[in-house]
């Protein structure tokens, strides 16, 4: 079972890029973030024509997340992260596919830092940690996939001091990610490749793609039952080099199910 995650940065603006990637790489499950469309604007028909059924939550202009599954409909289990009834941002969707619970996450960016946006990021992270704890305790196979907007360690970003104040690299952001891992989750891509660059994002600005100055922001966390089933994984870097690309590339893993 091949599971992928991609921050698409507007699904309708990049629909041809998305369909081209799905056709070529054929993930069984694809988690998407930053749909940037209201619920009714989601291109469900085009995706169905390409062989994918979907569940999604969306809002105008910002955020929005989806789970696609090839050849079968994902079974929706949650469309929001528990813990704050006043949070209306569409950043979490969860569904079961072939016996695996898939959570698609778009964690808040948190810039500028410090400030209310960074506080929202950390509060959202705490809600995720609480929910993830419940999922671990449930003893079921779970993949937490998505754009965490966290650079976990210094080796997950090109060498620079210019981003020292950025929310993505703050000690509080990294500490929250480590606390999540310590519940028993496995950082799948880092388990496969313990050291070295594993970029999934290159800023549009400053020609970062051509300089290959990227960051690792998109992660797969595996529950204890799934970690031993991890076979392979990587980043589809070619997608970032296409015309009209998102600033993220897809990351993927395969599980022996």
Residues that bind DNA (CB under 7 A): 7, 9-10, 12-13, 34, 36, 60-63, 108-109, 111-112, 117, 147, 149, 161-162, 166-168, 201, 203-206, 215, 217, 244, 247
Least distance (Å) between residue 244 CB and DNA: 6
Least distance (Å) between residue 81 CB and DNA: 15
CA–CA distance, 96 with 74 (Å, rounded to integer): 6
Of 111 and 186, the one with the shorter C-beta distance to DNA is 111
Least distance (Å) between residue 211 CB and DNA: 10
Least distance (Å) between residue 250 CB and DNA: 14
- For 37, what's the count of Cα atoms within 13 Å in the CB-facing half-sphere? 18
For the CA atoms of the chain, what is the radius of gyration?
Answer: 17
- If one counts every other C-beta atom within 10 angstroms of the C-beta of residue 255, the result is 24
Query: Are residues 35 and 11 in contact, defined by beta-carbon separation less than 8 angstroms?
Result: yes
Of 97 and 128, the one with the shorter C-beta distance to DNA is 128
Least distance (Å) between residue 254 CB and DNA: 25
Task: Give the SS3 label for residue 235.
Answer: strand
Of 6 and 230, the one with the shorter C-beta distance to DNA is 6
CA distance to 13, 65, 92, 161, 250, per residue, from 128 (Å)? 29, 15, 10, 29, 22
Query: Are residues 144 and 185 in contact, defined by beta-carbon separation less than 8 angstroms?
Result: yes
Of 142 and 150, the one with the shorter C-beta distance to DNA is 150
Of 118 and 142, the one with the shorter C-beta distance to DNA is 118
């Amino acid at each position: 079972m091949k599971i992928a995650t991609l921050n698409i940065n507007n699904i309708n603006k990049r629909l041809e890029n998305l369909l081209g990637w799905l056709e070529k790489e054929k993930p069984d499950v694809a988690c998407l973030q930053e749909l940037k469309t209201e619920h009714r604007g989601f291109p469900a028909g085009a995706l169905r024509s390409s062989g994918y059924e979907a569940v999604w939550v969306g809002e105008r202009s910002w955020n929005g997340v989806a789970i696609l599954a090839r050849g079968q409909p994902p079974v929706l289990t949650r469309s929001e992260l528990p813990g704050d009834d006043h949070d209306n941002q569409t950043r979490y969707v969860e569904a079961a596919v072939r016996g695996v619970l898939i959570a698609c996450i778009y964690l808040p960016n948190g810039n500028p830092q410090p400030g209310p946006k960074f506080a929202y990021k950390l509060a959202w992270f705490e809600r995720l940690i609480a929910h993830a704890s419940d999922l671990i305790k449930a003893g079921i196979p779970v993949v937490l996939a998505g754009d965490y907007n966290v650079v976990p360690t210094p080796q997950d970003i090109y060498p620079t001091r210019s981003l020292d104040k950025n929310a993505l690299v703050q000690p509080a952001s990294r500490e929250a990610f480590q606390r999540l891992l310590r519940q028993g989750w496995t950082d799948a891509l880092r388990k496969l490749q313990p050291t070295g660059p594993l970029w999934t994002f290159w800023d549009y600005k400053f020609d970062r793609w051509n300089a290959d100055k990227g960051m690792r922001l998109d992660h797969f966390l595996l529950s204890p039952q799934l970690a031993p089933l991890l076979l392979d994984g990587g980043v589809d870097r070619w997608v970032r080099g296409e015309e009209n690309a998102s600033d993220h590339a897809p990351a993927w893993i395969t599980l022996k199910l």
